[in-house]
């Protein structure tokens, strides 16, 4: 029954607490004797504020009972470490803002807990019910801050009985309405955001508005901005507090106003400050002063008006608690400032005058001095426990002394400290009153002030400067002291700087753990925030010395967030900064907790000595594998390999002269060439060895007789990673004598990769510099330097052949009889010997000694929709440390037509969190990809996808891949027809091998979410083939009637578009189908077929080029599959299977000639193509927002930048899309469509459900389509860090570049004018960059080729305008061209067309002419 009627505040809170049958109520008081108006509440349990009350609450939590706690802000702030323990339980914490200090609220802003604020009866009525609903329906804690002093009158509150949800809902599904309340006066120029105890509404000055915050978490800054009148230019946050800010204007509340600085700029808001208000008599006058201050030319950033609360001790206690929280937060605020706003000034420990290199010694010296006095006092107290020594109250005083002494033997947390200091105060008070007596006088001579008797928690805060001389520093004394003292040490040195210091930094954590009685934690806030919180809590509890090592790497104030995040990632995942917690007070098996998967060798040795490695290896699978591969010592590792090779040579009994072949290779070409050279040397009787330059010991080089170096060229003329160490050592050596060494060098490079004259020196620079250095060191060349050039007719082989012959002559083995070499193993060999795509995939998945699979299986798994990748952000550092790359896999869905059910979306959302990298990627071929799936999770991931009838077969590989088609949400009839055709094409050309089902789906798996999965797989009618074909003799075999055992020479893609839209870039694919629709009946009649499109190229290799499809003609719908089959068969039988760079259909078409190829297709299908039907294309981009189709269903196209569905502070889109899928499930209707431009269409929404979907879209900012036209029409490939082919950033960088270009376009009035812009990290063309009006193709880090002149509709290929340029040049060039376009364009003229008309760039009329007519200045 609903409880109604007016009541006082305690009764109102009781009603909410009793709304659930099973409930618990707790309240806190300063002492047991304190009278509390909550004492009469039934079943209410009293807790003491200083006795760690939240720990008692946590122990009694239950998911079956509603827990209500009534406390005050000081008690809650002191209990901050326990608040996270409330997660997962229905708890309402009602917090009395008894000191009128609202600044305490921000202490809890990062805990992912809803926070409500009630300062008046009306808001309390709403928020009390709101807190009850959130706690019971989502089974989570709620913090409800209430200004009890403002709510003394009766309250009208209705509370309905409820139950605790058995299946908790997401917080997102609960509508937290009325976050803000707006009151406005006139045309407001200044907005007051009210976090105060006052009611300003009727006191507003003219031209101001007031926003009262009722819901602080979740925080919706966009909603706040939308609420503010557009006239507002200044914002002042008014915060109730008890003192002036000592943070130079910074308060945690301010961070919530800078999630997107560009939004503030766009709104013209030029000032946001915070002003504190205490207890004031004239509220109106205080408000006037606050408004005048924010509008002044130089506002006082630390303005405080009024007086503090009367309870000075309570104010100081809260202030001290808040200061501790802020100090911890400020240590990490340097990055936060970069993330939110360059105008947000934050003070931090590094600039504090108290944080200096001598702090350990000074601080510990001060501690020792105080401790010495303390020990004298303790000694005196122990000698003074006889009551007869005191004239009055001797027994009572001796009892106090006994308590005081006992506290010295306990581990004191903050609550215990308070209790102990009450005793200390009473002791000193007694001594002062009785100081005329001898014993009292004796005490006061040793401890003259109360401070001498008090207990303190002692911390030292410092930097990594303390790490260089640990043995002689105060750190050593602190750690060896066994005193209860704590150290927070902040290390800001980036990983890449670790070897540049002339001094040797010590591993403080390892040093501390060796003491055996020190708590040690290694944390990194940008790797694991939860681990940081856990470690800090544990350190505070530990009785004895503790040290928390906190990592915050940055080079300078100008570092971008991307740089800092990368630095942290590299340091943690390479093992340079392992995350761990070590608590020696725990049992051995639990003492060391590893929170990352890689550790340093020194730490490994420590754990080995402590017999903890075995336990850790069982507990952490990733650690076990990394441990096996960690390098103990690079020299030892190299010597072991040399010893093995020497032993192998001894067994071989070779008698010829030695030849050592060393290589440096990034892409594998140099390594393959070196190994081939070594094999040929051995065949000629030489004692040949081959190894990476990374394994060469420089000191051994003078004793070697004949050495050949083979190196490729990386980046801007740099050595590959596995050659850098030796090259650096060689350069640094000044006394190396190589007089006895015979050598030569062969380099691999591309003379046109850096075509500009000023960049020519990059060509083969590693080989040239190495050759010169060896000559200078007196080594003797066997043959001159050899330089292979990719631009030669046979690539590097052109120069290599003569060079090798010269080498054999120099070594005297030119005439040796050599057996015929086996031919190199090619992709064609792999396919034909794979047993229809099986290979050794099963064996590779079972091998837990590596995160990788065999190179041949890497090619075969592509047919299964899987690419092996590694995290390139940490590749170099792992390699340098002797560890294999951090391998993970990308799994791509075969999704014909890009249509997905809500169940399919939800399983991908779950997998992305459980086995992926936390994101979902929408691809440029309208399907899904999951990244970051490690090998042990791969089978489970594939099975989970298939459980919702999504497979990955043929999503990659030399087969027909995902069929992509126009989304056309406004036309249901036409979309259904082309969807049917796309689905039939996909199923018809699906490989018939049973390998996919056999490897991934057959049988049961203990990780299946549902035991019915195997039956789902077996009963699926379409999709992967389950049973082999019976042939003569009743043998069961795999048969590929279309593909044959070697499948196609290269990938094969089909796109379907519906004019006037070309959102699939129909001319870019092997087969492009333009739908011909009857305008009156909307019936699909047939297709114009285009053949021979393709995007992949190689930089500066003129044999490769992008191509648009050639028109073969029109065919009715019923003939289209036969025609595609004909194209595929001609390509299968005539495509180049020797050179994969020349294997795509586009090259076969140009080699044979369009008419010859077309005739063969017509011969195969037994009919001629008709003449192409007329059509008109007007655009190739998506249209965002809502649209209704002819059946009355609604569709919304959401902007997903570069297809990356993720949650960020600014755009929580992943959670939003999950909520959309859940709504679809609830209503039993709706689905998703993916676009070729990497966006998502929420389709098939009925009118009666529309409002619910709109609310979710708005809440998660999915309805935000107010971006610039440039951003809306941009696209990027994945690029770094996962793509193995990427040469530069793309997806992570393009949004930053567009932001800078938007400012230029805005200035020219072009913000809403479409420009099709594409970016890729390499020239393989995944984002179809060659069709962009503007495109940037990665060549090296931060370096791109600028392409211009593509067709706005995707009908024309662009051309190189400038090669190898960086951001500043890109912006300068485009700024001038955009300016010209704004001033000189014709009506409706697109940017690409304008550039061609003006002669800025020549048009590419046909793919094979792509390299012609390039501007001279481009190179």
Task: Report, as residue numbers or ranges, the catalytic residues.
Answer: 892, 961, 1051, 1053, 1277, 1283, 1322, 1326
CA max distance for the chain: 123
| CA–CA separation, 480 and 544 (whole Å) | 10
Tokens matching residue 887: 């391998």
Q: Which residues pair with 892 in a beta bridge?
A: 929
Three-state secondary structure of 384-420: CCCHHHCCCCHHHHHHHHHHHHHHCCCCCCHHHHHHH
Element (H, E) at 252: helix 252-255
Give the closest residue to 863 by CA, choosing from 619, 1043, 724: 1043
Tokens matching residue 1122: 């036969």
How many Cα atoms are found within 13 Å in the side-chain-facing hemisphere of 910? 15
Angular region, 1033: left φ>0, alpha ψ -120 to 50, beta rest: left
Angular region, 996: left φ>0, alpha ψ -120 to 50, beta rest: alpha
| CA–CA separation, 444 and 438 (whole Å) | 10
Give the closest residue to 100 by CA, choosing from 303, 238, 257, 302: 238
1208 Cα distance to chain centroid: 9
Which residues in 170-203 are b (16+ Cβ under 10 Å) and which e?
ebbeeebeebbeebbbeebbbbbbbbbbbebeeb
Helical H segments across 763-894, by residue range: 765-776, 797-811, 827-832, 841-846, 855-863, 875-880
Eight-state DSSP code of residue 999: I
First to last CA, the chain: 81
| CA–CA separation, 1096 and 1106 (whole Å) | 6
Q: Is 1345 in contact with 1336 (CB distance < 8 Å)?
A: yes
Tokens matching residue 177: 């309405």
| CA–CA separation, 499 and 452 (whole Å) | 46
Q: What is the DSSP string of 571-605?
A: HHHHTSS--EEE-TTS-HHHHEEE-SS---HHHHH
Report residue 1304: phi and psi, to 5°: -70, -50
Tokens matching residue 393: 């109250």
Element (H, E) at 477: helix 474-480
Tokens matching residue 655: 């008698």
Cis check for the bond before 669: say yes or no (omega within 30 of 0): no
Which residues in 137-159 are b (16+ Cβ under 10 Å) and which e?
bbbbbbbbbbbbebbeeebebeb
Q: Is 898 in contact with 965 (CB distance < 8 Å)?
A: yes
| CA–CA separation, 50 and 815 (whole Å) | 93
| CA–CA separation, 198 and 102 (whole Å) | 11
Side by side, the strands of the sheet bearing 141-146 are 44-48, 23-29, 66-72, 91-96, 141-146, 115-118, 215-217
CB count within 10 Å of CB 1332 equals: 30
Q: Is 293 in contact with 303 (CB distance < 8 Å)?
A: yes
Helix axes 1145-1152, 1120-1134, angle to 10 degrees: 80
């Amino acid at each position: 029954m609903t409880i109604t009627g007016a009541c006082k505040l305690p009764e109102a809170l009781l009603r909410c607490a009793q709304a659930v049958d099973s409930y618990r109520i707790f309240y806190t008081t300063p002492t047991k004797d304190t009278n509390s108006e909550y004492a009469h509440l039934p079943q209410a349990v009293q807790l003491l504020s200083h006795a760690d009350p939240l720990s008692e609450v946590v122990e009694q939590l239950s998911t079956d009972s509603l827990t209500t706690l009534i406390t005050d802000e000081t008690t809650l702030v002191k209990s901050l470490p326990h608040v996270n323990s409330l997660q997962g339980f229905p708890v309402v914490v009602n917090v009395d803002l008894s000191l009128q200090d609202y600044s305490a609220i921000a202490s809890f802003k990062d805990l992912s807990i809803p926070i409500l604020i009630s300062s008046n009866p009306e808001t309390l009525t709403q928020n009390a019910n709101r807190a009850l609903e959130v706690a019971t329906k989502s089974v989570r804690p709620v913090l409800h801050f209430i200004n009890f002093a403002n709510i003394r009158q009766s309250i009208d509150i209705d509370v309905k009985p409820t139950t605790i949800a058995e299946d908790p809902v997401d917080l997102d599904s609960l509508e937290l309405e009325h976050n803000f309340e707006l009151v406005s006066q006139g045309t407001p120029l200044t907005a007051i955001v009210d976090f105060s105890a006052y009611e300003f509404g009727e006191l507003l000055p003219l031209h101001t508005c007031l926003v009262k915050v009722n819901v602080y978490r979740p925080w919706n800054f966009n909603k706040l901005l939308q609420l503010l009148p557009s006239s507002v230019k200044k914002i002042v946050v008014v915060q109730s507090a008890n003192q002036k800010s000592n943070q130079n204007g910074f308060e945690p509340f301010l961070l919530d106003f800078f999630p997107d600085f560009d939004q503030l700029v766009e709104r013209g808001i030029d000032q946001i400050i915070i002003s504190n208000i205490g207890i004031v008599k004239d509220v109106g006058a205080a408000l006037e002063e606050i408004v005048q201050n924010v509008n002044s030319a130089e506002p006082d950033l630390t303005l405080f008006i009024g007086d503090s609360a009367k309870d000075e001790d309570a104010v100081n206690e809260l202030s001290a608690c808040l200061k501790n929280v802020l100090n911890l937060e400020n240590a990490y605020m340097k990055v936060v400032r970069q993330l939110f706003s360059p105008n947000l000034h934050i003070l931090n420990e590094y600039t504090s005058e108290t944080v200096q290199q001598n702090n350990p010694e000074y601080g510990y010296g001060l501690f020792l001095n105080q401790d010495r006095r303390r020990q004298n006092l303790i000694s005196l107290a122990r000698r003074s426990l006889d009551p007869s020594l005191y004239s009055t109250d001797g027994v009572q005083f001796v009892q106090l002394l006994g308590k005081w002494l006992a506290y010295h033997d306990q581990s004191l947390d903050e609550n215990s400290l308070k209790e102990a200091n009450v005793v200390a105060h009473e002791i000193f008070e007694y001594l002062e009153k009785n100081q005329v007596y001898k014993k009292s006088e004796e005490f006061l001579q040793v401890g003259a002030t109360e401070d001498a008797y008090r207990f303190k928690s002692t911390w030292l805060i410092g930097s990594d400067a303390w790490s260089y001389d640990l043995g002689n520093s105060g750190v050593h004394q602190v750690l060896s002291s066994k005193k209860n003292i704590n150290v927070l040490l902040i290390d800001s040195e980036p990983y890449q700087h670790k070897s540049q210091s002339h001094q040797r930094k010590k591993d403080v954590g390892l040093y501390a753990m060796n003491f055996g009685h020190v708590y040690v934690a290694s944390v990194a806030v940008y790797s694991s925030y939860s681990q940081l919180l856990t470690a800090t809590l544990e350190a505070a509890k530990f009785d004895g010395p503790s040290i928390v090592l906190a990592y915050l790497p940055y080079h300078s104030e100008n570092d971008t967030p991307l740089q800092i995040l990368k630095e942290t990632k590299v340091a943690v995942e390479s093992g340079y900064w392992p995350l761990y917690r070590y608590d020696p007070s725990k049992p051995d098996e639990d003492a060391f907790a590893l929170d990352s998967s890689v550790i340093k060798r020194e730490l490994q040795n420590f754990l080995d000595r402590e017999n903890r490695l075995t336990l850790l290896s069982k507990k952490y699978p990733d650690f076990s594998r990394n441990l096996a591969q960690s390098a103990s010592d690079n020299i030892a590792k190299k010597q072991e390999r040399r010893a093995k090779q020497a032993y192998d040579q001894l067994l071989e009994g070779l008698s010829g002269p030695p030849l050592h072949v060393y290589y440096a290779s990034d892409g594998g070409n140099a390594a393959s060439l070196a190994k081939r050279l070594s094999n040929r040397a051995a065949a000629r009787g030489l004692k040949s060895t081959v190894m990476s330059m990374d394994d060469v010991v420089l000191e051994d080089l003078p004793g070697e007789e004949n050495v050949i170096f083979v190196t490729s060229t990386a980046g801007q003329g740099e050595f590959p990673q596995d050659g850098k160490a030796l090259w650096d050592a060689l350069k640094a050596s000044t006394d190396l004598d190589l007089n006895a060494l015979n050598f030569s060098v062969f380099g691999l490079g591309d003379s046109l990769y850096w075509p500009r004259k000023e960049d020519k020196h990059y060509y083969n620079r590693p080989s040239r510099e190495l050759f010169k250095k060896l000559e200078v060191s007196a080594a003797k060349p066997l043959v001159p330097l050899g330089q292979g050039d990719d631009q030669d007719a046979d690539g590097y082989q052109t120069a290599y052949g003569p060079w090798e012959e010269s080498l054999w002559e120099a070594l005297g083995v030119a005439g040796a009889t050599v057996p015929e070499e086996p031919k190199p193993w090619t992709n064609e060999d792999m396919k034909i010997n794979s047993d229809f795509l099986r290979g050794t995939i099963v064996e590779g998945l079972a091998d837990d000694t590596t995160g990788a699979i065999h190179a041949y299986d890497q090619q075969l798994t592509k047919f299964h929709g899987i690419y092996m990748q590694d995290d390139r952000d940490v590749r170099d550092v792992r390699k340098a440390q002797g560890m294999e790359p951090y391998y993970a896999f990308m799994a791509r869905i075969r999704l014909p037509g890009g249509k997905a059910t809500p169940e399919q979306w939800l399983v991908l959302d779950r997998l992305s969190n459980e086995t992926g990298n936390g994101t979902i990627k929408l691809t440029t071929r309208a399907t899904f990809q999951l990244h970051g799936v490690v090998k042990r999770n791969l089978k489970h991931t594939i099975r989970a996808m298939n459980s919702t009838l999504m497979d990955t077969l043929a999503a990659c590989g030399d087969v027909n891949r995902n069929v992509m088609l126009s989304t056309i949400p406004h036309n249901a009839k036409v979309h259904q027809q082309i969807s049917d055709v796309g689905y039939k094409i996909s199923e018809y050309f699906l490989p018939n091998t049973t390998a996919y089902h056999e490897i991934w789906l057959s049988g049961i798996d203990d990780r299946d979410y549902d035991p019915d999965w195997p039956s789902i797989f077996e009963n699926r009618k379409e999709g992967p083939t389950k049973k082999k074909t019976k042939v003569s003799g009743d043998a069961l075999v795999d048969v590929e009637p279309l593909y044959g055992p070697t499948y196609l020479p290269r990938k094969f893609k089909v796109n379907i578009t519906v004019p006037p839209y070309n959102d699939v870039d129909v001319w870019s694919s092997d087969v492009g189908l333009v739908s011909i629709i009857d305008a009156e009946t909307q019936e699909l009649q047939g297709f114009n077929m285009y053949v021979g499109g393709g995007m992949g190229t190689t930089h500066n290799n003129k044999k490769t080029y992008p191509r648009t499809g050639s028109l073969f003609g029109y065919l009715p719908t019923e003939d289209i599959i036969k025609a595609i089959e004909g194209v595929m068969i001609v390509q299968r039988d005539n495509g180049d299977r020797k050179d994969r760079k020349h294997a795509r259909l586009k090259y076969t078409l140009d080699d044979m000639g369009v008419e010859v190829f077309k005739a063969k297709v017509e011969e195969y299908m037994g009919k001629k193509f008709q003449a192409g039907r007329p059509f008109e294309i007007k655009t190739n981009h998506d249209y965002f927002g809502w649209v209704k189709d002819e059946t009355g269903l609604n569709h919304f196209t959401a902007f997903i930048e570069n297809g990356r569905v993720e949650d960020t502070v600014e755009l929580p889109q992943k959670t939003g899309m999950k909520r959309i899928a859940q709504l679809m499930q609830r209503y039993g209707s709706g689905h998703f469509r993916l676009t070729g431009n990497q966006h998502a269409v929420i389709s098939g929404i009925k009118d009666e459900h529309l409002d619910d979907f709109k609310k979710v879209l708005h809440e998660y900012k999915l309805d935000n389509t107010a971006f610039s036209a440039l951003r809306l029409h941009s696209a990027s490939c994945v690029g770094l860090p996962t793509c193995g082919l990427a040469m530069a950033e793309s997806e992570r960088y393009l949004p930053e570049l567009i932001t800078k270009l938007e400012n230029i376009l805005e200035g020219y009035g072009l913000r809403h004018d479409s420009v099709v812009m594409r970016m890729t990290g390499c020239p393989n063309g995944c984002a179809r960059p060659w069709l962009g009006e503007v495109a940037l193709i990665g060549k090296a880090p931060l370096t791109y080729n600028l392409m211009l002149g593509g067709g706005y509709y995707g009908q024309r290929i662009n051309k190189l305008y400038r090669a190898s340029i960086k951001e500043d040049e890109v912006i300068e060039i485009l700024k001038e061209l955009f300016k010209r376009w704004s001033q000189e364009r014709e009506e409706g003229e697109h940017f690409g067309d304008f550039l061609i008309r003006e002669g800025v760039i020549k048009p590419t009329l046909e793919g094979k002419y792509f390299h012609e007519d390039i501007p001279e200045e481009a190179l």
